[in-house]
Amino acid sequence: MTTQVMTTQTSFWRRFAPLWALGVVGVIGVLPALLGQLSVLLTSNPALAGVPLPVLAVSALIQPLLIMSLSVAVGVALAHRLGLRSYLIEQLEGVGPIGPALRRDLPLALGVALGIALLITGLDAVFAPWMPNLVDAAASPTGRSLELTVTGVLYGGIVEELMLRWGLMTLFAWLLWRVFQRGEDRPAAPLVGTAIVLAAVLFGIGHLPAAGTLFGGLTPMVIFRTVLLNSVAGLALGWLYWRRSLETAMLAHGTSHILMTLISLAAIALRLS
């Protein structure tokens, strides 16, 4: 029995480690934007006088690192029971290499990324007349900084997918399956769809603190706009995770941030021409 337990534990940690390491890269990816924000905070808040910037940065990264680690563990424990896939884990288990699998999914991921980018920038323009003045114009969809784009690709594309899809959506799908379809091998599509919606809405709600900082407060319209835009993206990414893989959703999420930056630059160029 001891040998069997050790084999299970080794298998779990072998599957956990590569996704966790990928998540660490994503968490570190937030540093360029974070350091600038913390520098402003140090100069504007006398209570933080004398606190070294590296200490603040490490403190700010602890919470997302812990949540990401828990999310990876949840996904590793539950995703395979639901038929939800990670190409990276499948490669480790000898199912097949990740490269060809992602190449097959590339056109779909790029199409979803373009759809997300166009929809979010379009909806953002629609909501613009009802939004308060921006506190940081460089962080808006129409003036996206390089730091914001890097953060979107690494933290958004990796860490948020590990948290919201691999962790939270998987957990919701597993709970719904165990409650409503206990005798079935896999959850039915409506249950997975419900999990996708729940995770997408929470994805939108999770962006409210950043929106409050961006607009200098949370008005009802700011809340509605933020939850709607991010929930729409979450629905598309959740569907990709369900129908293809975690890595396909990551690819689409990260690429959507690059495309939103390119669209914003093109819009600025057109206004200046």
Q: Is the pLDDT score of 141 beyond 90?
A: no
Q: pLDDT band at residue 134, thresholds of 50, 70 and 90?
A: low
Q: pLDDT band at residue 4, thresholds of 50, 70 and 90?
A: very low
Q: pLDDT band at residue 42, thresholds of 50, 70 and 90?
A: confident
Q: Is the pLDDT score of 246 beyond 90?
A: yes
User: Number of C-alpha atoms within 13 angstroms, CB side, residue 8?
Assistant: 6
pLDDT tens for residues 179-206? 999 888 889 999 999 999 999 999 999 9
Q: Is the pLDDT score of 138 beyond 60?
A: no
Q: pLDDT band at residue 36, thresholds of 50, 70 and 90?
A: confident
Residue 143: predicted pLDDT: 54
Q: pLDDT band at residue 45, thresholds of 50, 70 and 90?
A: confident
Q: How many domains does the chain have?
A: 1
Structural domain boundaries, residue 170: 2-272
Residue 23: predicted pLDDT: 97
If you average pLDDT over residues 131-148, what whole number do you get?
63
Q: Is the pLDDT score of 229 beyond 50?
A: yes
**For the ranges 9-13, 145-149, 177-181, 215-219, which has the lowest average pLDDT?**
9-13
Residues 182, 187, 188: CA angle, nearest 5 degrees: 120
Mean pLDDT of the residues in the chain: 88
If you average pLDDT over residues 117-138, what whole number do you get?
80
d(CA 37, CA 33): 6
**For the ranges 158-167, 189-198, 214-223, which has the lowest average pLDDT?**
214-223
| Whether the Cβ atoms of residue 264 and residue 121 lie closer than 8 Å to each other | yes
**pTM of this prediction?**
0.90
pLDDT tens for residues 86-117? 999 999 888 889 999 999 999 999 999 999 99
Q: Is the pLDDT score of 7 beyond 70?
A: no
**For the ranges 16-20, 47-51, 101-105, 258-262, which has the lowest average pLDDT?**
47-51
Q: pLDDT band at residue 1, thresholds of 50, 70 and 90?
A: very low
If you average pLDDT over residues 226-252, what whole number do you get?
96
Q: Is the pLDDT score of 167 beyond 60?
A: yes
If you average pLDDT over residues 71-89, what whole number do you get?
96
